[in-house]
Chain A
């Protein structure tokens, strides 16, 4: 069975400092990994997905199959980055899409 682990429930970082939110997964097939974000009083929304290999709002994430990790990084934190971040794994089987989420990390940027 697939599993997503986010070891930090809370993370506080000073503005301008680098940010790294950790995500590890277990999955027997070829995973597709995502980061979803929930800003205060907003709905859950997709931040980025590993196959896109793009940077969104300065965030990047690299899939490391050897370490089964998909850590989210940003070189310089901004106050508007404060939010709840969820790592998720896609289990696509016969046209059925299922997302398995981690427990989330609440990121607080200290001004």
Chain B
């Protein structure tokens, strides 16, 4: 059983640029959630995808968008990067009927300069 994998592990961008982060779900999982974790804070829910559609969203602006593919892998896209977007981005996968158990990836550390 493979776990949740995220790429890249680290990324440096400048303000105004766009970024795409990738996540492969744990085998057998059909739901993906994305979280943002700023330094010294707990993870904050960005959105969730199920069956390739957004299935709930946290308090993040529209420049945060995502995709889920037929193989249940997922992307997080952030446009017009701001300095405050610097954070660790976590992907978590789960199975729809067992949603309360989420399995996390190691995260992508994004630095915006």
A residues near B (Cβ < 8 Å) are: 4, 9, 32, 34, 43-46, 49, 86, 88, 90, 92-93, 95-104
Contact = CB atoms under 8 A, between A and B. Distances in A.
Nearest to B59: A1
Dominant secondary structure at the A interface: strand
A46 B101 contact: yes
Contacts of A9: 40
30 contacts: A9-B40, A34-B100, A43-B4, A43-B105, A43-B107, A44-B90, A45-B103, A46-B101, A49-B101, A92-B100, A93-B56, A95-B96, A95-B99, A96-B55, A96-B56, A97-B48, A97-B99, A97-B102, A98-B33, A98-B56, A99-B43, A99-B45, A99-B92, A99-B102, A100-B45, A101-B35, A101-B43, A101-B44, A102-B42, A103-B41
B29 to A, nearest CB: 12
A11 to B, nearest CB: 15
Contacts, number: 64
Chain B residues touching A, range: 20 to 34
Contacts of A86: 42-43
B45 A43 contact: no
B24 interface: no
3 A-B pairs with least C-beta separation? A101-B42, A96-B56, A97-B99
Contacts of B92: 99
Contact of B99 (A4, A45, A46, A92): A92
B96 to A, nearest CB: 7
A33 to B, nearest CB: 10
B41 to A, nearest CB: 6
B106 interface: yes
